Amino acid sequence: MGKPLPCGEPGTGRCGDRWIQLVLGLLCMMAISSPQYVWALFTKPLTDSLGVSLAEIQVTFSLLIVLQTFLSPWQGLLIDRFGPRILLSTGAILTGLSWALASGAATITGLYLTYGVLGGMGTGIIYVGTVCHVAQWFSDRRGLATGLVAAGYGFGAILTTFPISQVIRTSDYHRALLDFGVIFGVVGLISAQGLKRPEGSWQLAQCELTEWAPSQKQRSFRSFTPAEMLHTPIFWLLFVMMAMMSTSGLMVVSQMGAFTRDFGMADVLVFGFPALPLALSIDRFANGLTRPFFGWVSDHIGRENTMVIAFALEGLAMTIWILTRTDAATFVLMSGVVFFGWGEIFSLFPSTLADTYGSKHATSNYGLLYTAQGLGSVLGGPIAALLHQASGSWIPVFEVIIVMNFATAILAGFALKPMRRHWFRAAWIWFYRAVQRRRIGFANGGQADGA
């Protein structure tokens, strides 16, 4: 049996296919990014309209992320079984419906059930399904590909931040939720129709391509099931690291409207624009750009080395950010640096996981790791709001987050890196012994046939 043809050679017809899959996945991600990344625009009008506290409102955001993440293992299993088209279409419908129904919610419970529960289920299906879908198509450039498609989750909100802010200002938040909910649902549903799984022969061909980067030398020779993965310490270290980094970023995402007002900059003009929507737009751009950039970097210098650089960058940027909180222009610009150091977790962690445990069960496996995002939403949402309420200041909240940033960078360099090095050394030994056993089996069979 000959070696499968690599991408781009006549007769394969696959190189174009996979880039189409990436573009469609990118559109799906863009359609579901706003429920998380423009949430800060809704906290003030929702608090005033429903007559509840900030901590109560932030439970909605936590529900969105918790449902998005804690259901992802089961959603991953369904996607593995029924394919991406059916499940992602369902996710798009649920996401659009969550905003449309939330527009008419008259109580905090109604907001929880619509924006939080339905939105979390819909966005979770699309996020986990799309990231793992492109990871299967791009095993040779997994960091770059997952980074590009995850960038849609950051870039998508760039297109909607100012329009949604304008609708809220000129009309009300009810109209913004209804109109944009319909748009999100339609765009996601149409994009999902072109998604398809890669054929087994295509995945094999990708596995046999020449190893061209340091990260390619650290890839599992076999695929581990979710049950097998849960019994390994590397998974739990990745879980703790992702939970800490998720807490950091989601605290900023969910609380930015609140602490920007407390710092006296909500109504300040920066470069002729209101500070909060301008910062949110810059953040979305940085949050989108960082995912393919650091994914590409990790393909060349390794996952752990890239994590050290990115996580330390966020810690440093957040330190400068809080020290310059009285300077509106610096505050807005540094918010972008903070997100540039955070958003890459959505390319680095799934690619690291697939490298370590293989591609076959990538969707289900990442669904389990992605639950760390749910834990981070609770710590960064209502728990951070309660810490602020108890201390009367955002400074202690930032201090905890900064410590988490630097601690995760240290874990990446001094714990994860040696653990994975040992893991792949053992994998090479396993692979060598398997090849030797196969050779011995062929030799014994040949002798038997010749006897």
| Among 100, 114, 108, 226, residue whose Cα is nearest residue 174 | 100
Please list, in sequence order, all residues whose beta carbon lies within 8 angstroms of the beta carbon of residue 246, skipping any fewer than 6 positions away: 345, 372, 373, 375, 376, 377, 380
The tokens describing 42, both together, are 């809704």
| Among 87, 85, 77, 84, residue whose Cα is nearest residue 136 | 84
3-state secondary structure string across 382-443: HHHHHHHHHHCCCHHHHHHHHHHHHHHHHHHHHHHHHHHHHHHHHHHHHHHHHHHHHHHHHH
Does a structural domain hold residue 108? yes
Does a structural domain hold residue 451? no
Does a structural domain hold residue 213? no
Does a structural domain hold residue 37? yes
**Predicted pLDDT at 234:** 96
Does a structural domain hold residue 54? yes
**Predicted pLDDT at 439:** 59
Based on the structure, what is the number of domains in the chain? 1
CATH number of the domain to which 336 belongs: 1.20.1250.20
* CA dist., res. 311 & res. 341, Å (int): 6
Q: pLDDT tens digits, the chain, 451 residues: what are they? A: 334 444 544 334 455 688 888 888 889 988 888 888 788 788 889 988 898 887 788 889 888 988 887 777 777 677 777 778 888 899 999 999 999 999 989 999 999 999 999 999 999 888 888 877 787 788 777 777 877 887 787 677 778 888 998 899 888 889 999 999 999 999 999 999 988 877 654 444 444 443 334 444 455 557 788 899 999 999 999 999 999 999 998 888 778 877 888 887 767 877 777 777 788 778 878 877 888 889 889 988 999 999 999 999 999 999 998 888 888 888 888 888 998 988 889 889 988 998 898 877 777 788 889 889 888 888 888 888 889 889 988 899 999 999 999 999 999 999 999 999 988 887 666 555 655 666 566 556 554 444 3
**Predicted pLDDT at 15:** 58
Does a structural domain hold residue 7? no
**Predicted pLDDT at 405:** 96
The tokens describing 109, both together, are 């419970």
Q: Model-level pTM?
A: 0.70
Give the pairing of strands 273-274 and 269-270. antiparallel
For residue 231, give the 3-state DSSP assignment.
Answer: coil
Does a structural domain hold residue 4? no
CA 78 and chain centroid, separation: 19
Does a structural domain hold residue 294? yes
Range of the domain at 33: 15-207+222-445
